[in-house]
Amino acid sequence: MTNHEHDMVWIHYKLVRKPKNEGEGVIMNVGILAKLYRQARMAIMEDTHDVDANCDGPDLDFVYADVDSYQNEIAELYSYTEFSEFQMNVKAFEDQMDLYDLPPNWQKQDAAAQRSIVMKLVDQLEVSDRSFRMQAARCILYLAQGCWAEVQSDEEQHQNTRDNVIVLYQLGVFSSFIDLLNMEIETACSPDIVAVKITNVTLVDSTDIRVILSVLYIITETIRDEREKGSEDYKQLAESFVQEINSPLPDGELLAVKLLGMITRFCSGAAPQFPMKKVVLLLWKVSLLGLGGMEVLKNLKNEYRAKIGLEPITEDTLEVTKCMRASSPPATATDILENQYPKRNFKRSLMKQRFLDEPEQIDMELSGNEGGPNANNGNSTTGSGTGNGEDDLSQYYRPFDDPSASTSSGNNSGSGNSSNTATANPNNQPSLTQPPATVPAVQITARLPWTPKVRQKDIDQFLDISRNKFIGYSLIGDHESLAGLPQPIHEGFKTLQRHMYVSLADMQIKKEEDIARNPISTHEDEIKLTPAEILYQAILPNLPQYMIALLKVLLAASPTSKSKTESINIMADVLPKKMPLTATQSTKLTVDMGRHKEIIVKAVSAIILLYLKHFKINHVYQFEFMSQHLVFANCIPLVLKFFNQTITEYVNTKNSIPLLDFPSCVIGEQPDLSGDSFVYGGEMSDKPYSWRNVFSCINLLRILNKLIKWKHSRVMMLVVFKSAPILKKTLKVRHAMMQLYVLKLLKMQTKYLGRQWRKSNMKTLSAIYSKVRHRLNDDWAFGNDLESRPWDFQAEECTLRACVDRFNLRRYPEATQKCGAGGGVGVGNNGTAAQNAENAQQSNMHAGNGSGDRDSNGYGNNGSSGGGVTNSSGQQSQQLHDYGVEGGFPSDEILTHSDFAFFGHSGWWDRKVELTDYFKANYAVWLEEEVYNSQTDWDAL
């Protein structure tokens, strides 16, 4: 039995059974368990319960970042079916140069001549003749593409693009193409065009708008890449560009809002010819450049925390996960034997061993264990030919400098030669040459990657329970008094205080509550117009429609979606006018369609995650407003539906032909893509995974985590949708960051899954224990949480909804009135989140009862449309009446509820009240009687 297996048995036993006396630990008879382990060694592969968490092969060397490499991001802009249009760009450039009586060679022109040509092309963009105007647009696209017909290598093409983009932007090409985009949108959505039902949309229908979007995308992506590299010649240009995209256009709209409007029109059927891939890619890059990526988010968070007196964040998820190993814990003997012989009570037999407290028996069994030559003095970790010495640590983590490691090593330095111990046991692993009873608990916690956290709410709960237990009463609002409590409670309280974490969201919520209670005396800080604030104010009036549109596009691009359920055609900008005739052409089109969907999923998931993260830092209620509408639009079942596939195959799928990627497809001699060369083209990548697919999976998991964290009703949605087996399949992907977010989702719902599930999935619980941050008071593995009562969910969601509406009504009254008084608008978003959760549960129950009208994923029809809640008005009004909310406003009964104690001072003051004529005529009388002559006992109030 290896060190690793011994540790896992110890952890498993602690998780499965709590000791009867909380002050005493229980030592397992590891010797007996070692015998059972040898008997079950050959049956590991037959474990049907938790074997999904195991996977073979090396870790993926995927590095999560804001974007892929510049070359790949540019290549993904074009579909393989657009290959013929590259030659059209060259032809347009040559014809245009003939008109100017100039040689058709851009590189032979000096700087002054190049700027003169660009200025003439910009002027030509404003002519009324459409063909003449688009010829100039194609010339500019050819310049933005790096004049690839004049170069011999990808490096030359990239350098040309880099130089040309500077000239194009300085001469106002970006603004001119925005005007062209507006014209195309107006033309596409004109009544004459909309009246004619467009069917069988193909690549030809979006030719002109694709040219415009391509130029905008290349300029945006090139500036973003050069800004990220810190190029000096792009420094001022990048600052000017960021300021431009964060400012309203001449028509008053942000560019991001205009692109979101295009997506909404596309999903509504008003403009089915819009090329969705290029639109979402441009929206993603514009938002990323305007708001900022992960580094900007990290700096903003620490900056905002410092302003309100909080300590900066020292642990970064990206950095910590780089030190983790992705492998899951191996199957243990208890898992295998209990699954193989479920009728035998192993718990009872283990507890009745008469050698329970004899460490000599443990040492004897470990020394005689098969394949255990490394269970010696701990110095064989560098030996060769042993399968246990190195793997015992590498199964979990690479070396990680934990903040508490210094104190832990100081506590463990009393064992003789401390230098040898540090060399042979760098991560403070417990040695098998000593009985487990002598191993301090700190050695286990020292290797955990995260510093434990605790909330103020958890400390208050700890004090309330302690006071009621030892004193018999509670002190409401007292967070520090320890009078009458025993010394162990004092020590526990100090430990909790040392690990207390106050989030930025907690402070923002507290500020909002103070304003709600004392709206006159509480000073509200001036709203700072950050990029996130500007974007939120711009999208607030139509945010529900935007979220629904993004999720509809995501659903249509999901590999698990069925074609018969797709209400929109996202393949309009990839399908050629003439269908392929040969097998090679068919294969090429199939690959192109799969690639097209993957790129859309990548862009949409990145957009949603970027908005959620920036809104959460800017103000938590902005984040909650967007989150609620994502939940209303069935985002949770949609993401689960996405993962209900063989995720390892999706991650490893190579829907790409490198020889057809731009600029490889137009530079140099082009091979004949048939037979072996075609296959070789698909196998040129040396990585065993698809970067964009891993990126998309991590983004969707992060979105799911953000929507569900600390929301018990949404956690219950995970449970009723039977997400545990779906998420467990995702653990097969050997990437630490992806596994971390999956384990977080499993940890949230573990307490609701029952004891039998926990017994059958001990490896998963061990992975959660070792990789996910610990919350000191969180009894996540046992289901004893008092907050898990289902009747509290409706009040929780209604409270959150009321707070968000109050926040929006106070800060953005005009935009909120456009959006709707209750926060729900137009496209089926009038229910509450609690109502959505209940409907989701009912839908899942109907689907699980053998209903014939359900898809293969077991969700029924819920989530397959991605179009939000679709309840009838009668059901909605009845549900609102049950919650105490009538007509979008709280009733008197709901205001008396303890959960809504701070509801009263809200934005409902902004509601206009019409006074009667009688009251207006007798206003002076009322003022005299009710105000001047009325004596108020303020002390009594």
Predicted confidence (pLDDT) per residue in 568-583, tens digit? 889 888 888 887 778 8
- SS3 label, residue 726: helix
Give strand pairing partners of 890: 885
**pTM for this one?**
0.74
What's the DSSP call for residue 376?
A: S
Per-residue pLDDT of 638-679, as tens digits, reads: 999 999 999 999 999 888 888 888 888 888 776 666 654 554
Rounded average pLDDT over 612-639: 95
Q: What pLDDT, in 10s, does the model give residues 360-388?
A: 333 333 333 443 333 333 333 333 333 33
- Which pLDDT does position 328 carry in this prediction? 55
Q: Using 50, 70 and 90 to split pLDDT, how confident is the model at 821?
A: very low
Burial classification of residue 506, based on how many CB atoms lie within 10 Å of its CB (0-12 exposed, 13-18 middle, 19 or more buried)? middle
| Angle, helix 235-245 to helix 276-291, in steps of 10 degrees | 110
pLDDT tens per residue across span 26-51: 333 444 444 444 444 433 333 334 44
pLDDT tens, residue by residue, 307-351:
999 999 988 888 898 888 886 544 444 545 555 555 444 444 333
Residue 303 gets the label, from left (phi > 0), alpha (psi -120 to 50) or beta, of: alpha
> What's the token pair of residue 654?
């190579």
DSSP 170-213: HTTHHHHHHHHHHHHHHHHTSHHHHHSPP-S--GGGGHHHHHHH
- pLDDT exceeds cutoff 60 at 212: yes
Structure tokens at 930: 């009710």
Which pLDDT score, from 0 to 100, does residue 649 have?
92
Q: What pLDDT, on the 0 to 100 scale, is given for residue 675? A: 52
> How many angstroms from the chain centroid is the CA of residue 549?
18
What is the pLDDT at residue 152?
Answer: 87
Q: Do residues 862 and 717 make contact, with C-beta atoms less than 8 angstroms apart? A: no
Task: Count CA atoms within 13 Å of residue 15 on its CB side.
Answer: 27
Range scoring the smallest mean pLDDT among 317-331, 412-426, 711-725, 739-753: 412-426
* CB 612 within 8 Å of CB 703: yes
Distances (CA, A) of 281 to 51, 275, 286, 585, 605: 38, 10, 9, 26, 11
Of 1-15, 264-278, 357-371, 599-613, highest mean pLDDT = 599-613
**Ramachandran class of 172: left when φ > 0, alpha when ψ lies in -120 to 50, beta otherwise:** left
Instruction: Give the pLDDT confidence score for residue 606 in this predicted structure.
Output: 97
Residue 616 has pLDDT above 70, yes or no: yes
For residue 447, the model assigns a pLDDT of 65
| Predicted pLDDT at 875 | 41
Query: Does the N-terminal peptide bond of residue 663 adopt cis geometry, omega within 30 degrees of 0?
Result: yes
pLDDT interval class at 777 (50, 70, 90): confident
Structure tokens at 375: 């269970």
Mean pLDDT of 261-282: 93
Q: Where are the domains of the chain?
A: 70-81+172-321+528-666+687-803, 456-500
Predicted local distance difference test score (pLDDT) of residue 783: 66
Q: Is the dihedral of CA 470, 475, 478, 483 positive or negative?
A: negative
| b/e per residue 125-148 (b: at least 16 CB within 10 A) | beeeeeeebbbbbbbbbbbbbbbb
Output the furthest CA–CA distance in the chain (Å, rounded).
Answer: 101
- Indicate whether 880 pLDDT > 50: no
- Name which of 380-384, 630-634, 665-669, 936-940 the model is least confident about: 380-384
Average pLDDT over residues 602-623: 97
From the number of C-beta atoms within 10 Å of its C-beta (0-12, 13-18, 19+), residue 475 rates as: middle
- Across the range 529-537, mean pLDDT stands at 95
Q: What is the pLDDT of residue 332?
A: 45
| Range 270-297 average pLDDT | 94
Kindly report each contact of residues 896-903 with a partner whose C-beta sits within 8 Å and lies 24 or more positions away, as own/partner. Answer: 897/795, 899/795, 899/796, 899/798, 899/799, 900/795, 900/798, 900/799, 900/802, 902/513, 902/516, 902/517, 903/516, 903/799, 903/802, 903/806
pLDDT of residue 846: 40
564 or 320, which is more confident: 320
Rounded distance between C-alpha atoms, residue 600 and residue 499, angstroms? 41
CA distances from 616 to 260, 603, 706 (A): 20, 20, 10
- Mapped onto helix, strand or coil, the DSSP state of residue 449 is coil
pLDDT value, residue 342: 53
| Average pLDDT value for the chain | 74
pLDDT at position 116: 93
Q: Are strands 885-886 and 889-890 parallel, antiparallel or unpaired?
A: antiparallel
- Here the tokens at position 237 are 């240009």
Distance CA 198, CA 404 (A): 65
Q: What is the pLDDT of residue 449?
A: 87
Tokens 């397992």 sit on residue: 28
The pLDDT value given to residue 498: 92
Residue closest to 551 by CA, chosen among 276, 861, 864, 867: 867
DSSP element (H, E) containing 890: strand 889-890
CB atoms within 10 A of CB 682: 18
- Which of helix, strand or coil describes residue 397? strand
Under the banding of pLDDT at 50, 70 and 90, the label for residue 920 is confident
At 48 the pLDDT is 36
User: Helix/strand/coil (H, E, C) string of 543-557?
Assistant: HHHHHHHHHHHHHHH
Neighbours of 783 (CB within 10 A): 14
* The pLDDT of residue 604 is above 70: yes
Mean pLDDT of 892-916: 44
Structure confidence by residue, pLDDT tens digits, 72-130:
999 999 999 988 889 999 999 999 999 988 888 898 889 999 999 999 999 999 988 88
